[in-house]
Amino acid sequence: MKQLFTYTTKHFFLLLFSFVMIFPFLWMVVSALKTKEEIFQFPPTLWPETPMWHNFIDAWQLAPFGQYIFNSAYTAIAIVAIQVVNSALIAYAFTHFRFKGKNLLFAIVMLTYMLPAAATYVPSYVILADWNLLDTHKGLIFSNAVSVLGIFLFRQAFMQIPKELVEAAKMDGASHWRILWKVIYPLSKPTFLTFVLISFVQNYNSYLWPTLILNSEEKQLVTTGLRQFFIQEGAYGIQWPLIMAASSFAVIPLLLLFAFAQKWFISGISDQGLKG
């Protein structure tokens, strides 16, 4: 009896808490469906009288959100692809090559891992300006071309692969490139997947750095575009339903991605013991 009571309380608490956690998302969608008058009612209505599905279309047409989402997705995919390849390469060098200064090099990489990215913004901005890469996606991609987290994760994963396997592949005359992608990659797929997901989410969501370097409207990422829409659309107050509809455009793709890949996010992150 006592057990049943604890069990019920626990579920009740968890259900309530989970609801509180996702409530802002629900509130976002519900508010997006309200009319301008309805959204200013106090106390707020929990469900609009007539859902204004049209708000989503209106918001979509007021700013190029399709373009924004495309920009975010494509730059994030390009960045992740580059990061995966070069992190895997250098991690392979760290684990399967012997060379002078290896430890020193790894120490430098580790040191970079500990430093805040923000501290590089001023000089990186100047570099991009010098190379005429400001306001280009190329500049955004290139300035994110390396992930210290990736190097770190892959090195960790590669170290756990039995040396004999690599030696055997070498005996068969496989090149290092082949060994990396035909022997090591299949064995460390979970790490690759975790890294791809996390890096994609981080790059898709990144805001400060893209805001600094991208100016033209058509190059904006969804985060920056959304923030601009937020300021323009009656700055803090008039077009709240449209602002909530626009926020949904930015948030929902990621929630969908998460819904499909949640198992990988959750097990991957905890297994690797990595940091955000």
Partner 1 sequence: MNTLVTEIRAIITKEKGARRRIKFPLTLWLFILPALTPLTIFWIYPMLYSLYISFTDWDYMSTEYNFVGFSNYADLMTNPLFYGVLWNTLYFSVGVVVPSVFGGLLLAMLVVKKQKGMGFYRTLIFSPWVTPAVAVSIVWSWIYEPQIGLANWLLTAVNLPALEWTSSTTWAMPAVIIVTIWKGLGWCMIFYLNALKKVPESLYEAAALDGASSWQKFLNVTLPLISPTTLFLVIITAVDALQAYDQIQVLTQGGPAGSTRTILYMYYQSAFEQFNMGQATAVATVLVILTASLSLLQFMFSRKWVHYE
Interacting positions 18-57 with partner 1 (CB under 8 A) = 18-19, 21-22, 24-25, 27-28, 31, 39-44
**43 prior amide bond cis, ω within 30:** yes
**Using CB under 8 A, which of 90, 153, 169, 179 touches partner 1?**
90
CB of residue 71 vs partner 1: minimum separation in angstroms? 14
**Using CB under 8 A, which of 135, 193, 227, 264 touches partner 1?**
227
* Contact between 14 and partner 1 per CB under 8 A: yes
DSSP category for residue 44 = P
Provide the 3-class DSSP secondary structure of residue 48. Answer: coil
**Using CB under 8 A, which of 56, 68, 92, 195 touches partner 1?**
92
Residues 192-221 vs partner 1: string with x where CB under 8 A? ---------x--xx-xx---x---------
Half-sphere exposure for 24 (CA within 13 Å, toward CB): 5
* Contact between 173 and partner 1 per CB under 8 A: no
Question: Which residues in the 231-250 window bind partner 1 by CB under 8 A?
Answer: 236-237, 240, 243-244, 247, 250
Nearer to partner 1, 51 or 106 (CB): 106
* Contact between 143 and partner 1 per CB under 8 A: yes
Number of amino acids touching partner 1 (CB under 8 A): 94
Q: In degrees to the nearest 10, what's the CA dihedral of 142, 143, 146, 147?
A: -140
What helix, strand, coil percent values describe the chain, rounded to 5?
A: 75, 0, 25
Provide the 3-class DSSP secondary structure of residue 52. Answer: coil
Neighbours of 117 (CB within 10 A): 13
* Contact between 5 and partner 1 per CB under 8 A: no
Nearer to partner 1, 60 or 227 (CB): 227
* Contact between 223 and partner 1 per CB under 8 A: yes
CB of residue 227 vs partner 1: minimum separation in angstroms? 5
Stretch touching partner 1 by CB under 8 A, among 53-61, 62-70, 89-97, 187-195: 89-97
d(CA 190, CA 69): 27
CB contact at 8 A, 125 and 140: no
* Contact between 258 and partner 1 per CB under 8 A: yes
DSSP category for residue 42 = S
What six digits make up the tokens of 231? 């300021």
Q: Which H/E stretch holds residue 230?
A: helix 222-232
* Contact between 136 and partner 1 per CB under 8 A: no
